[in-house]
């Protein structure tokens, strides 16, 4: 699931990513252009059966991301606004307050 916060007055949005632990039982990181694709920058922490991590990004800039699991296994998130060969893309401020901003994930390798 990807949850988008409200844009702040200084133009930032908090994005929270959650993935069920059973989809990547040995660990998961969120990687993307916001952290230079560094798998150590945003490790997802297990909490109540899901991995969770939040990042803060500019509301007006598209974000490209993927999940990286143990052993170098990449996952895309079906909740991204669109996908291409690099991964999923989000428009951080898009659809805030609508059902589209809070959808359940289905991961695919």
Query: Each residue of 18-35: pLDDT tens digit?
Result: 999 999 888 999 999 999
Long-range contact pairs involving 31-35 (C-beta distance under 8 Å, separation at least 24): 31/65, 31/66, 31/67, 31/68, 32/63, 32/64, 32/65, 32/66, 32/87, 33/63, 33/64, 33/65, 34/63, 34/65
Domains parsed from the chain with CATH numbers: 2-97 (2.60.40.10)
Sign of the dihedral defined by the CA atoms of residues 47, 55, 2, 108, in that order: negative
Give percent above pLDDT 70 in the chain. Answer: 86
| Nearest C-alpha neighbor of 103 from the set 80, 86, 87 | 80
Q: Taking all residues of the chain, what is their mean pLDDT, rounded to a whole number? A: 85
């Amino acid at each position: 699931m990807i949850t988008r916060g409200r844009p702040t007055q200084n133009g930032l949005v908090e994005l929270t990513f959650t993935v069920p632990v059973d989809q990547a039982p040995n660990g998961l990181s969120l990687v993307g252009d916001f952290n230079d694709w560094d798998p150590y920058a945003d490790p997802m922490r297990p909490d109540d059966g899901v991995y969770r991590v939040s990042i803060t990004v500019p509301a007006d800039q598209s974000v490209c991301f993927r999940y990286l699991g143990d052993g170098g296994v990449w996952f895309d998130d079906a909740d991204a606004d669109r996908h291409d060969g690099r991964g999923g893309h989000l428009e951080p401020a898009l659809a805030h307050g609508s059902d589209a901003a809070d959808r359940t994930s289905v991961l695919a390798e």
